[in-house]
Chain A
Amino acid sequence: MLEHIKSFASGFFVTGDPMIYGADVSILLTILAVLFTLTYFKKWRWLWKEWLTSVDHKKIGIMYILSAFLMLFRGGVDALLMRAQLAMPNSNLLQPDHYNEIFTTHGVIMILFMAMPFMFGLFNVIVPLQIGARDVAFPFLNSLSFWLFFAGAMLFNLSFVIGGSPDAGWLAYPPYSELMYNPGVGQDFYIWGIQISGIGSLMTGINFIATILKMRAPGIKLMKMPLFPWSVLSSCIAIIFSFPILTATLALLFLDRYAGAHFFTLDGGGNPMMYINLIWMWGHPEVYIIVLPAFGIFSEIVSTFSRKKLFGYHSMVYAMMIISILSFLVWAHHFFTMGSGADVNSFFALTTMLIAIPTGVKVFNWLFTMFRGRITVRTPMLWTIGFIPCFIVGGLTGVLLSVAPADFQFHNSYFLIAHFHQVIIGGVVFGYFAGLYYWWPKMFGFTLNEHIGKWAFWFWNIGFYVCFMPQYVLGLMGMTRRVVSYSWDKGWWPLNLVSTIGAGLMGIAFLFQAWQIFHGIKHYRKNRDTTGDPWNGRTLEWSIPSPAPHYNFAVVPQVSELDDWWEEKQRREHNPYVPPAKEIIEPIHMPKNSGIPILMAGFWFMAGFGFVFHWLWLTVPGLAGVAICMLAHSFNDDSDYYIPIEEIKETEAAIRKVTTS
């Protein structure tokens, strides 16, 4: 019996590597510490009622961003491990198998479990506030989206300690991701982790399209809407058309592995190239999905901190919509070397180059917004200014890569690695950081220390160039991606060492950010944002207190123009004696909290875990639980309530008391 358990456990848990045992211990200690703290301070009830079951978009947004930071930490550790391995030739720090797992999890985590939730967090916190809404269109679905993302992310991360991590690269190309070459469970963790969180992403896409199209306050015509919601709309349109392709493709891969199908296998008539086409039909739009909202954030920030209306508002809107559509027509540029022929490659090279046009329009618009503006360089603006040159270089190397014949040289080299890190760190990550710093006071009601923030920025920015500029050269010198080590005679050592130093600088930058947040929490009282408008903003979210009350707007705003809050402030300044419009407070219709989303995500987790280990006894109850949760929700009529007028008045008075004291 004991032998039986022993043999099961040695296959079930990941064993052998001291680094993994160390990680096991630290994970266990962290879990115990969290459980102990919650129990000791009697916070379980609070956690359940105020957060886990909340359908409030602001709280869901904060939970998304918190998860994104945890995942940034893990993905960052993966990155540092890789750079440490490559710092010296013939390094033995990581075994090849382990290295394969690390670059796979680094990619998946950074794109799907860091960038996506970070982005959804900002959507959630800001979009309803900017369009004068009290919540998203489907608050229950929103909570479910978050919990599905969380269940998927946890399932994926579980592979670190149970069963073994996936190791077939972040997009799991067959035939290597097929059962024949990859018989472990890692690839199944990959499939189900992404599948479950992908359903959540898809529903968020639906939710925000409906929110933006249907929930705008009176007067916000589409062309009077701030640019961030526009960017969210363009991103969500790409989500609803591309994520189903991902779901379908991973389902096919799963059928290959689970049911012996022959979609992408080498035998039985399967075609691995089919997978590569399908996955990039999602994968390319995906990078625009994550970068478009960053464009929206920069547009908001650049206009606020230049004290000017955004230059070329209309062209910005059209540019984002065109990018959203064009993003579906470029997928084959990821595999010019596949052998599709000159005609196909020319088409995709041209469409890829075309995308540079709307993107260039946006860069010029940002620059012209700053031109003759009264610029104040606070941290959000600093990230924006850092972003522009970085993104231009990243974009230009992208144009180089789009030249199909030249791509035969660049393909899968470190040149490519440097390019996509430059657009994703320089564009997406810088953008989300800018947004986080910009909206932090609105989310939490206090401002962060600018001084530490500037240190964090400079470490990130300098670290970025030190890390990735050498990689362009390494790529041209012939270093290909995913190599675990190289010999002395290649001559790659000095540049690799510099690159590793740059990665270390970015690691330090992350520590500065963590310090900045702890510092902010510690000096919370001193740095309270009592104005609700710390940056002298232009859009509606700055017209309400920080943090926003749970119903957001006591009275739904009437909007008459773009940058309405700015214009309102100008009117008040010029004409202080005009009494504000009489505001009639009415009972507010709000959704009720629900425990079903977290429960349902738990059942999905069960089902996914069962699929990974081929345990039908776990999968079947899991899926049945999902169905029961859906029916329970369908039969529940008690899903909303009204906040009475007195309560609104009390809340508003309490906020005013704090802000004037």
Chain B
Amino acid sequence: MKSSSLKNVQKHHSDRHHSHPDMEEMRTFGFWIYLMTDIMIFGTFFATYIVLHNNTNGGPGPADLFELSGVIVSTFILLTSSYTCGLAVLALNKGKKQALIGWLAVTALLGAVFIGLEINEFAHMVHEGATMSRSAFLSAFYTLVGTHGLHVTVGLVWMIALMVQLSVKGITPVTKRKVNIISLFWHFLDVVWIFVFTVVYLMGVK
């Protein structure tokens, strides 16, 4: 329509929002609801794992397969990435664009290392014959842990796209909201991992 001639109207209006709600706040709210739905997905996979984890079908069980030292390293890498993600949001709030992109890059790098280690673990297990189709336990294991890994991978792509947007557009209300949302997502995945670490690995090798 006649949008191009309306730049000044738009500017005039951006600071009085009594007639419609703040879009960025609403999108953050929507993302919180999305996270609840994601909890349900993980919840279903956790439930499946807990029900099926003893059904090893005569194949290897948790104690035979998991090497706790490697998983502890992974865990600390992911926890650290959550910390650096927090530093990125601090930089955002101070309006420091370079520091923000830098901390996001560190976060993404740590996330990539985590994924690399997970792929390595999976490859190692498959090599030993512990494939998804070996037993119900392994099906549930790969699905639960793999879904978490898939989420982290999507988060990585998203984070890289966001870094590009930040370097092009700078810190705007929109990019600010996006950084806040991905940090929510990242911390969420960290919390899920704590549960994976506890339920799958710690309780598995005990």
Binding site for B on A (CB under 8 A): 134, 137-138, 141, 202, 205-207, 209-210, 213-215, 218, 240-245, 247-249, 251-252, 255-256, 259-263, 267-271, 274, 278, 556, 586-587, 589, 627, 631, 634-635, 637, 641-644, 647
Distance in Å: Cβ of B174 to nearest Cβ of chain A = 7
Q: Which residues of B contact A274 (CB under 8 A)?
A: 48, 51-52
B20 is an interface residue with CB less than 8 A from chain A: yes
B206 is an interface residue with CB less than 8 A from chain A: no
Q: In the complex where A261-B139, A268-B57 touch, is A627 in contact with B41 (Cβ < 8 A)?
A: no
Q: Are A587 and B13 in contact (CB under 8 A)?
A: yes
Q: Are B26 and A241 in contact (CB under 8 A)?
A: no
Q: Are A244 and B38 in contact (CB under 8 A)?
A: yes
**Nearest B residue to A138 by beta-carbon distance?**
B30
Q: Which residues of B contact A644 (CB under 8 A)?
A: 1-2, 6, 9
**Nearest B residue to A267 by beta-carbon distance?**
B57
- Set A205, A245, A269, A634: member contacting B56, Cβ < 8 A: A269
Q: Are B29 and A214 in contact (CB under 8 A)?
A: yes
Q: How far is the CA of A245 from the CA of B44 in the complex (A)?
A: 6
Q: Are B29 and A210 in contact (CB under 8 A)?
A: yes
B69 is an interface residue with CB less than 8 A from chain A: no
Interface residues as binary, B157-179 with A (CB distance below 8 Å gives 1, 0 otherwise):
10001000100010000100010
A-B contact pairs, 27 of them (CB 8 A): A134-B20, A137-B26, A138-B27, A206-B33, A214-B25, A215-B20, A241-B36, A241-B37, A244-B41, A245-B44, A247-B41, A248-B40, A262-B57, A262-B139, A263-B48, A263-B143, A269-B52, A269-B135, A269-B137, A270-B136, A586-B19, A631-B161, A641-B6, A642-B3, A642-B6, A647-B1, A647-B2
Q: In the complex where A210-B26, A243-B37, A643-B1 touch, is A218 in contact with B161 (Cβ < 8 A)?
A: no
Q: How far is the CA of A210 from the CA of B136 in the complex (A)?
A: 39
Distance in Å: Cβ of A425 to nearest Cβ of chain B = 30
Q: Are A278 and B44 in contact (CB under 8 A)?
A: yes
Number of B positions contacting A (CB below 8 A): 48
Q: Which residues of A contact B21 (CB under 8 A)?
A: 214-215
Residue of B6, B20, B51, B139 contacting most chain A CB atoms (<10 Å): B139
Q: Are B40 and A207 in contact (CB under 8 A)?
A: no
B66 is an interface residue with CB less than 8 A from chain A: no
B125 is an interface residue with CB less than 8 A from chain A: no
Q: How far is the CA of A642 from the CA of B9 in the complex (A)?
A: 8
**Nearest B residue to A553 by beta-carbon distance?**
B19
Interface residues as binary, B117-161 with A (CB distance below 8 Å gives 1, 0 otherwise):
000000000000000111111011011000000000000010001
Distance in Å: Cβ of A372 to nearest Cβ of chain B = 41
Q: Which residues of A contact B20 (CB under 8 A)?
A: 134, 215, 556, 589
B185 is an interface residue with CB less than 8 A from chain A: no
**Nearest B residue to A206 by beta-carbon distance?**
B33
- Set B19, B57, B132: member contacting A260, Cβ < 8 A: B132
- Set B37, B48, B136, B165: member contacting A202, Cβ < 8 A: B37
Within 8 A of A (CB), among B37-64: 37-38, 40-41, 44-45, 47-48, 51-52, 55-57
- Set B18, B51, B133: member contacting A271, Cβ < 8 A: B51
Q: How far is the CA of A476 from the CA of B134 in the complex (A)?
A: 45
Q: Are A252 and B157 in contact (CB under 8 A)?
A: no
Within 8 A of A (CB), among B1-35: 1-3, 6, 9-10, 13, 18-21, 25-27, 29-30, 33-34
**Nearest B residue to A591 by beta-carbon distance?**
B23
The 4 tightest CB contacts between A and B, nearest first, are A269-B55, A260-B133, A269-B136, A244-B40
Q: Which residues of A contact B137 (CB under 8 A)?
A: 269
Q: Are B30 and A206 in contact (CB under 8 A)?
A: yes
Q: Are A245 and B48 in contact (CB under 8 A)?
A: no
Q: Are A244 and B136 in contact (CB under 8 A)?
A: no
Q: Are B51 and A248 in contact (CB under 8 A)?
A: no
- Set A210, A267, A587, A635: member contacting B30, Cβ < 8 A: A210
Q: Are A206 and B37 in contact (CB under 8 A)?
A: yes
- Set A137, A214, A255: member contacting B132, Cβ < 8 A: A255
Q: In the complex where A214-B29, A269-B52, A269-B55 touch, is A206 in contact with B34 (Cβ < 8 A)?
A: yes
20 new A-B contacts, CB < 8 A, other than A270-B136, A642-B10, are A137-B30, A138-B30, A210-B29, A241-B36, A241-B40, A243-B37, A248-B41, A261-B142, A262-B136, A268-B135, A268-B136, A269-B55, A274-B51, A586-B13, A627-B157, A634-B161, A634-B165, A637-B174, A642-B6, A642-B13
Q: How far is the CA of A247 from the CA of B38 in the complex (A)?
A: 10
Q: Are A240 and B36 in contact (CB under 8 A)?
A: yes
